[in-house]
Amino acid sequence: MSRLEQRFADLKAEGRAALVTFVTAGDPGYEASLAILKGLPEAGADVIELGMPFTDPMADGVAIQLATLRALEAGQNLAKTLQMVREFRTGNQTTPIVLMGYYNPIHRFGVERFVADAKDAGVDGLIIVDLPPEHDEELATPAQAAGIDFIRLTTPTTDDARLPRVLQRSSGFVYYVSVAGVTGAGSATHEHVEQAIARLRRHTELPISVGFGIRTPEQAAAIARLADGVVVGSALVDKIAQAKDAGQAVDDVLSLCSALAKGVRNARA
């Protein structure tokens, strides 16, 4: 059983949803980003999505675009992102880490080298937003052969004809993007999310995590009553942008993570 499968199985036994947190690797700098990464599990994150900075993050809103720019300006690259995971694993062997981003940096790095290095570093899953299932042979197939889960995005516009194709080779969990648009967009209604999750459950037995537009403990709790996982990204990234220095960025991200975790944990109490 992979770390992702184990984590979702454990949380299902506990009767609660997972808090899935997103931060961009290298934002606001390597050391502060590593401190955030290492602190997230203790602050209540159950699964961590770690963004791989890329110069053209077309699916992301302003907050994560700016985070990517800060990381790149600080010298972050794919090799350093994998090194962050290695350093994280020296103290944590249980929290799943999912790398999220775009195919271009992986293609330039070399797929075979990337898959081997990611597995060796302790990466558990990949979310590659610009690689549809028609291109599985590019990365999904070799990644899964190495034991790395390949997590698919589904959206409100993924209809019943398309959904089976998207989910066919998915593993780890399904990430439901609850609103059409870029990251940081407005949140969906409770009724919409409830209906979307019911539809997804007819097509897959994988855990379903819901993201986009979740910013507060109250919003996180509302989604946690419906889904297997609650994804929060832009709200955490905004704390870094608003901080006066790297130390405050670390503290503020972890403080918000703790508040979100309490919301998720109390949702079904």
pLDDT 10s digits, 147-163 = 999 999 998 888 889 99
Digit-coded pLDDT (tens) for 113-157? 999 999 999 999 999 999 999 999 999 999 999 999 999 999 888
> Residues of 49-88 as b/e, b for ≥16 C-beta within 10 angstroms?
bbbbbbeebeebbebbbbbbebbbebebbbebbbbbbeeb
Judge whether residue 82 has pLDDT over 90: yes
> Residues of 6-41 as b/e, b for ≥16 C-beta within 10 angstroms?
ebbeebeeeebbbbbbbbbbbbbbbebbbbbbbbbb
> Residue ranges of the alpha helices (H) in 110-214?
111-121, 140-145, 163-167, 190-201
> Residues of 90-111 as b/e, b for ≥16 C-beta within 10 angstroms?
eeeeebbbbbbbbbebbeebee
Q: Tell me the pLDDT band of 184, cut-offs 50, 70 and 90.
A: very low
10 Å CB burial of residue 137 (0-12, 13-18, 19+) is: exposed
> d(Cα 251, Cα 242) in Å, to the nearest integer?
12
Which one of the listed residues 27, 60, 117, 228 is annotated catalytic?
60
Q: In the annotation, is 87 catalytic?
A: no
pTM comes to 0.95
Q: Tell me the pLDDT band of 179, cut-offs 50, 70 and 90.
A: low
pLDDT score recorded for residue 69: 94
**CATH class of segment(s) 3-266:** alpha beta
Which one of the listed residues 27, 49, 124, 238 is annotated catalytic?
49
Q: Which residue has the higher pLDDT, 181 or 109?
A: 109
| Residue linked to tokens 């790297």 | 246
Q: What is the mean pLDDT of residues 195-213?
A: 93
Q: Tell me the pLDDT band of 112, cut-offs 50, 70 and 90.
A: very high
pLDDT score recorded for residue 180: 55
Q: What is the mean pLDDT of residues 222-251?
A: 96
Q: In the annotation, is 60 catalytic?
A: yes
Q: Tell me the pLDDT band of 192, cut-offs 50, 70 and 90.
A: confident
